[in-house]
Structure 1
Amino acid sequence: MPHIHASDGTKLYYEDVGSGSAVVFIHEFAGDHRTWEPQMRHFARSHRCITFSQRGYPPSDIPKEPASYSQDIAVGDVLAILDGLGLQRAHIVGHSMGAYTALHLGIRHPERCISVVAAGCGAGSLPEPDRCQRQRLHAVETGKMFAEQDISISAATYADGPNRQAFKNKDPRGWSEFARMLGEHSAVGHSLTMFGVQAKRPTLWEMEAELKCFVPPLLVIVGDEDEPCLEGSFFLKRTAPTAALLVAPRAGHNITSEEPAAFNAALSELFFAAESGRWLAHKPV
């Protein structure tokens, strides 16, 4: 199995296929490298596509120390993938937890990003401190669930969340595959990721000053039934000067596999516009 070593020695499993401009896909909390199969098969015809499992997700290493998990470390792991594969720049496509990482990469290392996609982004980000604190407490409780229960039980509970119902109802076969793969994950990895990343990362509103200076072309994608992510997605559109927003109708949180045709079509337009320097062509000089 191919692995790249992160700065602290953690081994990150990756898959690399195709040729052309590079695309790096960063999965959500409930996903792994396999989440992006609809995108890997589509875009490998025209691009070099890289998907990887984040630390804590098999077959990558699962560090047991809580200090090995944070938002900053997640950004560093993407840089390790880029550097390990000799990539100076790539399209950075993130979903949910991965979308936060993609945004941080675009803020801190815009020179490494041809474009950035933030799909299903915004859960846990709210402008009011009291609502935000409730979300952080919910993340802690979710981390405890994965720490205290067998992965088969906690994964089944998490897969059946409210913003997964659109996927479950319209595509039971696809949802079942998603739930099965989630059940193959590591309870330790999930609990430490939830404690170290999800419960502690800054909200989008806390990132407002940095987002106002966002440089790479940014595409925000959200399903209209992904209620926890709607407010944050609209905030990104209104705040980042390079942002465009796509709202997918009748779609929930699993947007990459729930509506792969619409998702891939949107990415194709972004990639072409970003690579040709035409992403902001509609704006007056």
Structure 2
Amino acid sequence: MAIRTDDGVTLHVEEAGEGTPILFIHEFGGNHLAWEPQLRHFSRRHRCVTYAARGYPPSDVPDSLEAYGQARAAADAVAVLDGLGIEKAHIVGLSMGGFCTVHVGLRTPERALSLTVAGAGYGCEKAFEAYFRGVSLEVADQFERQGAREFAKVYALGASRVQFQNKDPRGWQDFADRLATHSDRGAALTMRGVQARRPSFYDLEEELARMAVPTLVVVGDEDDHCLQPGLFLKRTIPACGLSVFPKTGHTLNLEEPDAFNALLAGFIAQVEAGRWLPRDPRALPGQIMRTR
């Protein structure tokens, strides 16, 4: 099905199952199909929704750079909920989708039952902020110059993607094949408009410290530029837990689907039972042992 945003962009939406809604938001290198292992698992007891972000066919590919941005991405996620008549949902995002998930929690917390932020952090580390913005623009240029079909062969072999290839060559090939179908123009504009311009988590510390939505952060231990941002989110968001998958890269939900699904199911169950609480104030970060 399709929904229309307030700026006239049509988004392709798919759903399966019945029950408490879960909205899955894909990464830059994926699309709505990248959540298939989760839709097949969670649609047994949840209403599962996913969509292709603007710039990703069969959704529209706006031709203006100003049609893309972090705030716009968060507004699109809410537009999907509105279009389906969903008041609140568990929001689950990977990488670019993880950033979107955080911003849904910051901008419209009343729409989120919980937030799962997986593999998010690229560009947040201050030491690499300028490098990330520069390499994002270079990636955008390559998508336009070479086209997705050719550049996917390079992008799919990034330092945090080869773990997936080593563990599951067929699954990784499916990922690489989907990447090769990206819109050349849509990928370039998304990289320039969303990725290269999004704010660092560290610049949002005050807002994150006030965000009360139950949150789960998931990172792979070989996804190096997400590790420290993941720790930062854990230490900053009041009701936040952190899970680190061993020997794992960036594409968490596809690389380790069983572990990801089990973790997410447990988190959602705790949230729905009212037991995913803010950190106990007695758990003082500076204390090593109590002496009195």
Shorter-chain-normalised TM-score: which range? Answer: over 0.9
How many Å apart are 1:281 and its aligned residue? 7.8
- Output aligned runs, 1:238-253, within 5 Å: 238-253=235-250
Matched, 1:191 2:188: yes
Output the CA distance in 2 between the equivalents of 1:237 and 1:127: 18
Output the CA distance in 2 between the equivalents of 1:134 and 1:150: 23
1:77 corresponds in structure 2 to 76
- Aligned residue for 1:212, secondary structure, equals helix
Matched, 1:182 2:183: no
2:115 corresponds in structure 1 to 116
How many Å apart are 1:151 and its aligned residue? 1.5
Letter matched to residue 45 of structure 1: R
Q: Which structure 1 segments of 5+ residues have no match?
A: none
- Output aligned runs, 1:196-235, within 5 Å: 196-235=193-232
Instruction: Name which of 275, 278, 282 aligns with 1:278.
Output: 275
If the length of structure 2 is used for normalisation, what is the TM-score? 0.94
2:62 corresponds in structure 1 to 63
How many Å apart are 1:137 and its aligned residue? 0.8
Output the CA distance in 2 between the equivalents of 1:217 and 1:282: 11
Matched, 1:98 2:100: no
2:140 corresponds in structure 1 to 143
1:161 corresponds in structure 2 to 158
Output the CA distance in 1 between the equivalents of 2:65 and 2:129: 22
Distance change (3 Å), C-alpha of 1:282 and 1:64 = closer
- Aligned residue for 1:93, secondary structure, equals strand
Structure 1 stretch 168-177 or stretch 145-154: which is displaced more?
A: 145-154
- Aligned residue for 1:176, secondary structure, equals helix
How many Å apart are 1:284 and its aligned residue? 6.7
CA contact (8 A) 1:140 1:194 kept: yes
1:3 corresponds in structure 2 to 2
- Aligned residue for 1:245, secondary structure, equals strand
1:34 corresponds in structure 2 to 33
If the length of structure 1 is used for normalisation, what is the TM-score? 0.97
Output the CA distance in 2 between the equivalents of 1:151 and 1:143: 10
Root-mean-square deviation over aligned CA pairs: 1.2
Output the CA distance in 2 between the equivalents of 1:168 and 1:141: 24
CA contact (8 A) 1:107 1:215 kept: no
Q: Deviations over 1:184-215 (max 9, x none)?
A: 11010000000000000000111111111111
1:43 corresponds in structure 2 to 42
How many Å apart are 1:232 and its aligned residue? 0.8
How many Å apart are 1:150 and its aligned residue? 1.9
When Rg is computed on C-alpha atoms for both structures, the one with the higher figure is 2
Letter matched to residue 250 of structure 1: K
Q: Which structure 2 segments of 5+ residues have no match?
A: 283-292
How many Å apart are 1:127 and its aligned residue? 3.0
Letter matched to residue 97 of structure 1: M
How many Å apart are 1:132 and its aligned residue? 1.0
Distance change (3 Å), C-alpha of 1:281 and 1:233 = closer
Output the CA distance in 2 between the equivalents of 1:280 and 1:66: 40
CA contact (8 A) 1:19 1:48 kept: yes
2:126 corresponds in structure 1 to 127
Q: Deviations over 1:205-248 (max 9, x none)?
A: 11111111111100000111111211111111111111100000
- Aligned residue for 2:23, secondary structure, equals strand
Identical pairs, percent: 47
1:21 corresponds in structure 2 to 20
- Aligned residue for 1:166, secondary structure, equals helix
- Aligned residue for 1:162, secondary structure, equals coil
Instruction: Name which of 236, 256, 259 aligns with 1:259.
Output: 256
- Aligned residue for 2:160, secondary structure, equals helix
